[in-house]
Structure 1
Amino acid sequence: MGNKKKALVRGIAAASAIGLAAGLAACSGGGGEGDGQVVVANYGGITLEGFEAAYFDDFTAETGIEVISADADVARYVQMSETGESEWDSIDADGFANVDWINRGLVQEMSDDVPRASLVPDEYKDYIAGAYTQSFVLAYRASALDREPTSWKDFWDVEGLPGNRGWPGYYIGTAEAALLADGVAPDELFPLDFDRAFGKLDEIKGDLTFFESYAAGAQALQAGTVDMILLPNGRVTPLMAEDDDVEIMWDENLFYPFTGFTISQGAPNPEAMNKLMVYMQDPERQARFAEITGYGPTVDGALELLSPETAAILPGTEEHMRNAVTIDQVALSSQTDEYVSRYSEWLAG
């Protein structure tokens, strides 16, 4: 990676702190138009910093509506929505999870005022406010490998490309990577052939070091405990800001076209959540979120607001889509329960 791009990556890490401080300063000025609150579950870390700096703090300053963050728990969100009495208004969730909830009647339609995200499929646009795009990628330490990996087959080639390999304890992207390594064409991934995928994963299971969280896996890559690992791209960008040796293999990046926010059944503050969703679909604010986090925007016009250097390290750009494997999140939504079960069994076996 060139010095110019490395400097830009470092800028993302700095923008996280600067943007957060600016958002807090704006919030302290008061002057809101109303009051109340909205409760949004999320996973903390860099995405929460981005949400606060790009959306939450200014939203509170302008409207007087406080945004309260809760620790995300998908099972709890579903359980509360099923009862129709939810403590949360929304949750930051993967697109395939949102699709499943819509099909099960667990979420409400958004108001007509909320702009529809271009990357959300038409049949689901009325329910999902786009949050960001992400890619699951092969991250690696360049100095530890004899050559740069260019495919998931390279990850499986433990003799031809020796190195310590890390693997997540969470299922997302694992079967897809295995099937690509086994020669399945990207446009033939779905429906996922779990027997074939887990048979392929069995081939390297003994060569893998498993991590319970993406944060732990990222720390291991940073420390040099592992030389390559499957991670969400946003977990790698901060490492690249600090260490020129950390790289992303964009070839065969597993591209998830949208994550999003829905409004749960029984949400305590649906009107306030709709107002926040309007705020979060603004192209300028999504561009700011992308600059802070390294995750891509979901609405038209946002990418055009970013510098070419910034866009070069984001998923969903023209450059990286040429090498991407786009995940069919609608198809995946119908296989997720089996996916989770099979992966848990494989880890325990």
Structure 2
Amino acid sequence: MQHSTATLRRACAIGATIAVIGLSTGFGALTATTAFADEQPVAPTSTATASPAQGTDSTADGADESAPPVPAATSTPTAEATADPTAEPSLPVSTPAATATPDPTAPVTAEPAATPTVTIAGDATVGSTLTATGHDFTGELTYTWASGDAILPTTTDSYVVAAADAGKTISVTITSDTDESATTTTAVVTHAAAFPEASTEDDPITFSAVAGERFTHTFAAEGFPAPTYSAAYYSLDDPYASEDDGDESGYLPYGLSLDHATGALSGKPRYSGTYAFRIVATSGTTTASQYVNITIDAAAPLGVEVTAEDKDTFLTAHSTSWVIERNGTVWTFEN
């Protein structure tokens, strides 16, 4: 088949256009794949379309006027930069603060000397030994002890608490030959309860009394705080010794009673016999026991007692008794 020259030119023009478009697209793809991570995005470039000059024949070499114009190359927008996923993130670097360097020429302040002190070892109780110790003193030391406001004759570092110190405080002052001095004081001195007259379960103190006649004795114990007194079973091994019902009449002879504040046992015993019991003194947390054995003798006879009973009703009926005093007075009792 015969083809016209115009047809061939039109075909060539179309082919050239396709080639130009393909080439432009290829460069655009190439540009996108070679972008670096640190490139900033580039604004898209406006598309420029070539327009034929006015009054100029756009058909070259007698080309067919009916052939479509060849479109101008269109610039492709540059692709935005893509971050490299393998790149390590950069971290901010902090600068350490400068450290001040001491001025070697600054004057050095000397630490103040320790203040001398004194301590006392030992319990503030009668009979115990107190020992004083000085701390941070210089030079030779002397000791001055006092009981309350009274200066004691002791000049050593130890002192034995006396019974006269009970209820007072003991103080000691340590003085050095460099004019250093310190003082400390104990708590109030206590005195454990104790009876001046010792006694034991095997060796009690003994008393005697007469029934119907007044009896008085005070069991005075030492101790500070002031002791209080109570009556108890004679033997600690007694099976009822741990029982305390508050009734002391079972421990004492009938007719006698105990003053708990003074320790005085007094009254008129009613029945003869021998009685054993303990007087317990309590001072603070300490106790002391006084073992007592008291014998009560019968008084002089009041008279004669006569009792009459019927032998047939001896075990069931009441009896009648008469007491005839020495002066002849008769008392009748129905039993």
Band of TM-score, shorter chain? under 0.3
Q: Would you tell me which structure has more helix in proportion to its own residues?
A: 1
Structure with larger Rg: 2
Higher relative contact order (CA 8 A, sep 6+): 1
